[in-house]
Amino acid sequence: MPLTLQRTELLRSRNYIAGEWREATGSQLDVTDPATGALITRVPDSGACEAREAAEAAHAAFATWRKVPAKQRAQIIKRWNDLVLAHQDDLGTLVSMEQGKPLAEGKGEIVYAASYIEWFAEEATRMNGEIIPAPVAGRRMFAVKEPVGVIAAITPWNFPAAMIARKIAPALAAGCTVVCKPAEDTPLTSLALVRLAEEAGVPPGVLNIVTASRENTPEVVDAWLDDPRVRKITFTGSTPVGKHLARRSADTLKKLSLELGGNAPFIVFEDADLDAAVEGLMAAKFRNGGQTCVCPNRVFVQAKVHDTFSEKLAARVKALKVGPASDASSQIGPMINARAVEKIERHVQDAVARGARVLVGGGRLPELGPRYFAPTVLVGADGTMACASEETFGPVVPLTRFDTEAEVIAAANDTPFGLAAYFYSNDIRRVWRVADALESGIVGINEGAIAAEAAPFGGVKESGYGREGSTHGLEDYLHTKYVCQGQLD
């Protein structure tokens, strides 16, 4: 069944700057369906000019928006949340249309995105400061929370709704204003979300969105990086780009939130509930076809249970239905672009060339289209393989056998990344030893589905810094100002 919108005007093709939907002044960027390659629509392929106009609008709006009472900001954000949920079907269809994930996942992502919007509508009214007991007489001392200012949000293609929602919502809640640049592969969901924010009453200039091709994106973002009025960069994407943003923003010392790449280990100990571990791995690995930064990239199974586990897993992976989002029974969609499929194929071929064996899948599915890759299970994987050091970002599970706890902790931590880690064990002493030893920002214990708006989401090491969601997520958009009043005795 073709993917269509009820409210067709949510399919938008213009930038939104200073409260105006503006046509492209130059070239345009094709947005295509990854399942078929068909053109969906065209959006502006913007450059430094549009970027500067957006930054100017956000800077001008900040003086007023920061003074809007927190409760009023909260009410506007809550209205935005209600509109997003009221348009769940259309927004979910847009996600699946441009990103390719199965429709059920696309619609599910809208609920997930809205959970962040609702969360920060509530957090907006709890930006309490502190009254500090003065160490000397005659003084009053306060710690006051203030908005950082103009925020630049650069977002990835894998969760086109959730990633931008969990950046815009806390920014608006804190009293900041925003310029954002969505991923070139998936701009449409972001444009629709901004339209609904406008409808909810977000004033002109407070929220601005600019679309650009991969080639022109550096021109847009560098204009914000060099602009002293932009006070913070919040980015979700690859570690190389995250490092570029950190280096380039140093000249104006911007605040940074970087949610970058991962290389999550998934460890199954011999004392684990194997059926639960299989289900946990299926949930964590095959969500969005493996295109998430927290999906298990390396799977370690203790020798005694390796063969039983791999057989159980193989049966589940074999049963996965691959297909376009227009087929409601699809569970694994196409990969986002040709580059992604080439990387996945390279990882599988490299692993096999180094001794791994394909238990399930192992290659493309040309009969479905050029962007499809079969859900794959490899056995005999090891740390010498590309899939052990690089994020595959696809539906591939490389299984590595291990003997001892010490050995697997060392292997799990042997990576520059540290975003998520998972392990299954029913030994309570082992649970706390391993949870303490794993070098990651997120640890799932006997649980594969860890994402939630109430949780502080973020990494350590080269997976970045800053936290999104939870009460910590608002802090990244605030300064703490110390106010001291004397001569009061």
Ligand X SMILES: NC(=O)C1=CN([C@@H]2O[C@H](COP(=O)(O)OP(=O)(O)OC[C@H]3O[C@@H](n4cnc5c(N)ncnc54)[C@H](O)[C@@H]3O)[C@@H](O)[C@H]2O)C=CC1
Ligand Y SMILES: O=C(O)[C@H](O)CS(=O)(=O)O
* 146 in Cβ contact with 481 (< 8 Å): yes
Among the residue ranges 17-25, 125-133, 255-263, 351-359, the one whose residues contact ligand X (CB under 6 A):
255-263
218 binds ligand X (CB under 6 A): yes
- For residue 467, the 8-state DSSP code is -
- State the distance between the two ends of the chain, measured CA to CA, in whole angstroms: 76
Least distance from C-beta 29 to ligand X, angstroms?
Answer: 11
Nearest CA to 291 among 354, 375, 188, 165?
375
d(CA 167, CA 117): 9
Written as six digits, the tokens of 477 are 């958009």
Instruction: Enumerate the β-bridge partners of residue 417.
Output: 461
Token pair in block for residue 403? 């003997």
What are 434's two structure tokens? Answer: 């391993």
Q: Which of 117, 221, 411, 434 binds ligand X (CB under 6 A)?
A: 221
Number of residue whose CB is nearest ligand Y: 451
Q: State which of residues 84, 196, 200, 241 lies at the interface with ligand X (CB under 6 A).
A: 241
Nearest distance in Å: CB 112, ligand Y: 7
- How many residues touch ligand X (CB under 6 A)? 23
Q: Is 237 in the site for ligand X (CB under 6 A)?
A: yes
Q: Which listed range, 30-38, 99-107, 237-245, 436-444, lies at the site for ligand X (CB under 6 A)?
A: 237-245
**In the complex, least distance from residue 354 CB atom to ligand Y, rounded to whole angstroms:** 27
Active site residue 259: yes
For position 284 contacting ligand X by CB under 6 A, the verdict is: no
User: Smaller CB distance to ligand Y: residue 236 or 331?
Assistant: 236
Out of ligand X, ligand Y, none, what residue 184 binds, judged by CB under 5 to 8 A for its kind, is ligand X
* CA 367 and chain centroid, separation: 31
User: Closest separation between CB of residue 217 and ligand X, Å?
Assistant: 4
**SS3 (DSSP) at 39:** strand
Instruction: Find residue 207's DSSP bridge partners.
Output: 178
Q: How far is the CB of 184 from ligand Y (least distance, A)?
A: 16
Considering CB distances under 5 to 8 angstroms, the limit depending on partner class, which of ligand X, ligand Y, none binds residue 391? ligand X
C-alpha to C-alpha distance for 16 and 379, rounded to whole angstroms:
49
For binding to ligand Y (CB under 6 A), which residues are involved? 158-159, 162-163, 236, 259, 292-294, 451, 457
With CB under 5 to 8 Å by kind, the binding choice for 264 among ligand X, ligand Y, none is none
**Closest separation between CB of residue 86 and ligand X, Å?**
27
Q: In the beta sheet, which residues pair with residue 480?
A: 145
Residue 113 to residue 288: CA distance in whole angstroms: 15
The CA distance from 198 to 258, in Å, is: 27
Q: How far apart are CA 103 and CA 119, in angstroms?
A: 25
CB of 288 to ligand Y, least distance (A): 7
Question: Which regions of 225-372 does DSSP assign to beta strands (E)?
Answer: 230-236, 255-259, 264-268, 296-302, 357-360
Task: By CB under 6 A, name the one of 393, 422, 424, 477 that touches ligand X.
Answer: 393
Chain positions 372 to 391 lying near ligand X, rule: CB under 6 A, are: 391
- Residue 451: name its binding partner from ligand X, ligand Y, none (Cβ under 5 to 8 Å by kind): ligand Y
Distance separating alpha carbons of residues 418 and 440, to the nearest angstrom: 4
Nearest residue to 103 via CA among 369, 371, 331, 334: 331
User: Contact between 98 and ligand X (CB under 6 A)?
Assistant: no
Contacting ligand X within 142-201 (CB under 6 A): 154-158, 181, 183-184
Q: Is 450 in the site for ligand X (CB under 6 A)?
A: no
Interface with ligand X, residue 105, by CB under 6 A: no
Q: What CA–CA distances, in Å, run from 195 to 15, 157, 209, 383?
A: 10, 19, 10, 47
Q: 315: part of which helix (H) or strand (E)?
A: helix 303-318
Neighbour tally for 204: CB within 10 Å: 15
Comparing CB distances to ligand Y, the nearer of 147 and 441 is 441
Shortest reach from residue 454's CB to ligand Y, in Å: 12
Total residues found in the chain within this entry? 489
DSSP state of 332: B
Question: Which among 50, 105, 259, 439 is annotated as catalytic?
Answer: 259
Q: Is 236 in the site for ligand X (CB under 6 A)?
A: yes
Distance (Å, whole) CA 205 – CA 76: 15
Given the complex with ligand X, which of 155 and 376 has the nearer CB atom? Answer: 155
The interface partner of residue 162, options being ligand X, ligand Y, none and the CB cut-off 5 to 8 Å by kind, is ligand Y
Alpha carbons 45 and 24: distance in angstroms, whole number: 7
- Contact (Cβ atoms closer than 8 angstroms) between residue 257 and residue 476: yes
Chain positions 302 to 341 lying near ligand X, rule: CB under 6 A, are none
Contact of residue 317 among ligand X, ligand Y, none (CB under 5-8 Å per partner type): none
Residue 325 near which of ligand X, ligand Y, none (CB within 5-8 Å, type-dependent): none
Query: What is the set of active-site residues?
Result: 259
Binding residues for ligand X, per CB under 6 A?
Answer: 154-158, 181, 183-184, 214, 217-218, 221, 236-238, 241, 244, 259-261, 293, 391, 393
